[in-house]
Structure 1
Amino acid sequence: MPSRLRHLALVAALTAGIPNPAVPPVRIHQLLTGPAGFLELRNLSAAPVWLDGWTVLSCQGHTLAELARFPAGSAVGGGGSFVLAGLDFAGEADLLLPAVPGTGQLLRDEHQSRVDGVAVAPDSPCRENEAAQPCPGPLSRDALSTDTDNNRADFGCPSPPY
């Protein structure tokens, strides 16, 4: 086996099963739009993820608008959640906003690279593959926050209470 092929085989063997550190383990877990709406982010790793400079964009039709920029020192703890919520939200929130508008939301990291997105509109720039089915309540992932990069497969309508 030529030296280069042996080297590539060794690198492949040594890195097999190691998660890609460039992909943040934070996912959009739940979304409910409106003045009492909320966006729940979930950290799937055991380590905290710092959100300094991350942004959430709101999608309405083909339009993207910045909804929130995480302030310095913002983090979601290992295995934890971070909730952005409208002023009329009845639960506890980590970051209050006037409302959670739009037909979808897009999460970007500090480099403004796409981390996750969800939308119910088929033409939304926030969606991943097929749009999620609209719900009478929040859109939600399963308990493991499974992400197949297809909103229709990943998000459903949970039964109350939410």
Structure 2
Amino acid sequence: MADVTLQKSGGHRANGHDANAAVAATCRDTANIAGKAVAWITDNPDKVRQEQSALLREFRKFSTAARKLEAAVHRPMCVGVFGPSQAGKSYLISALARQGTAPLIAEFDGVPDGLDFVREINPEGGQESTGLVTRFTIRRERSPNGYPVALRLLSQTDVIKILGNTFFSDCDLSEEEIPSPQK
């Protein structure tokens, strides 16, 4: 995923930071409480008996989920647009994100005037940028020195989910023969 900073439009909610901080604190507290529950269950096997392993598994899942949610709160929200190639996704995003009729300008480190998204980053004529998820933001993201954008790799789980979803959603399975289990 590449983070591309847009020129600011001026609008922003003043209370957004406070709400995000409150959600992050709740997630952090939830993770800590789940961690304390894991410690208590581990220290009191006689009280939970045969339920210990199931309880430990569930509270560890709660803790992990809460920590992931806390981390997600600090990342800007986004809207995903998915569809076939050349269906107008870039034009839709450009129209939604730009100021009036002005072009959507993306700012990059080392590029003083920015780049027109539709004309210079995703032009027509077979030179489209494919195979990359681009997240537009109005918050400046730090990028490594000498590189114009910050990249974040997908997790192995995300890649497997994408491949599985692509196979089942985009492939014609009507002629596929499902093998029977081998004995």
Structure with greater helix percent: 2
Task: Using structure 2 for the length normalisation, give the TM-score.
Answer: 0.24
Higher radius of gyration, 1 or 2? 2
Task: Using structure 1 for the length normalisation, give the TM-score.
Answer: 0.26
Structure with greater strand percent: 1
Q: Report 1 or 2 for greater relative contact order, CA contacts < 8 Å, sequence distance ≥ 6.
A: 2
